[in-house]
């Protein structure tokens, strides 16, 4: 089975992705991760304004069969959360890199993304 790994963003070994646009980093989980989890039924996210340390737990995603912690790819302030996921957690399965995004962080360190896995490196990890 092959999974989408768009190369416009960076990845964590724990399967989160991070995409920077105009200084804000959007975060979600990968296609591989949503497939491993199966039907996502619940997402728990922090509040806007919360401060997250890099690689800190920021929430939980639950499928019918599993509970999985979520980790922040970069440290900084949460400036937006995707509250559509509260009513429609299945967006994480349907469109993990788009509509299924989870939160946006204003990073403390604008270069923090550079230290994360590239698409090629992440693809090698899940191969």
Partner 1 sequence: MPLQTPPLRGLHDEYGAKFTEFGGWDMPVEFESIRTEHAAVREGVGIFDVSHMGQLHVTGPDATELMQRLTSNDVSRLAVGDSQYATITDEDGIIIDDTVVYRLPDGDGNATDDADGDPTYLFVPNAGTDEATHQRWIDYRNEWDLEATVDNRTDEYAMFAVQGPEAVALVDDVTEESVADLERFEARYATIEGVDCWTARTGYTGEDGVELIVPWAAAEEIWTAFDCQPCGLGARDTLRIEAGLLLAGQDFHHDDDPRTPYEAGIGFTVALETEFVGRDALAEIHERGVEERLVGFQLIDRGVPRHGYDITNSEGRVIGTVTSGTMSPTVEQPIGLGYVPVEYAEPGTTLQVVVRGQSKKARVETTPFIDTV
Only segment of 21-29, 41-49, 77-85, 109-117 that touches partner 1 (CB under 8 A): 41-49
Distance of alpha carbon 13 from alpha carbon 124, whole angstroms: 11
- 3-state SS, residue 124: helix
Q: Which lies closer to partner 1 via its Cβ, residue 84 or residue 120? A: 84
Minimum Å gap between C-beta 89 and partner 1 is 9
Only segment of 10-18, 20-28, 55-63, 116-124 that touches partner 1 (CB under 8 A): 55-63
Burial 78-105 (b: 16+ CB within 10 A, else e): beebbeebeeebebbbeebbeebbbbbb
Residues of this chain that bind partner 1 (CB under 8 A)? 1, 38-39, 41-42, 44, 60, 62-65, 67, 86, 93
């Amino acid at each position: 089975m092959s999974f989408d790994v768009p190369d416009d963003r960076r990845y964590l070994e724990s399967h989160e992705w991070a995409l920077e646009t105009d200084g804000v980093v959007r975060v979600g989980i990968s296609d591989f991760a949503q497939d491993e989890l199966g039907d996502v039924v619940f997402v728990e996210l922090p509040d806007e304004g919360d401060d997250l340390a890099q690689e800190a737990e920021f929430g939980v995603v639950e499928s019918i069969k599993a509970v999985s912690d979520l980790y922040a790819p970069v440290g900084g302030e949460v400036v937006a959360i995707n509250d559509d996921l509260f009513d429609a957690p299945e967006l994480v399965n349907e469109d993990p890199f788009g509509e299924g995004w989870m939160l946006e962080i204003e990073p403390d360190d604008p270069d923090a993304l550079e230290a994360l896995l590239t698409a090629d490196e992440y693809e090698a990890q899940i191969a």
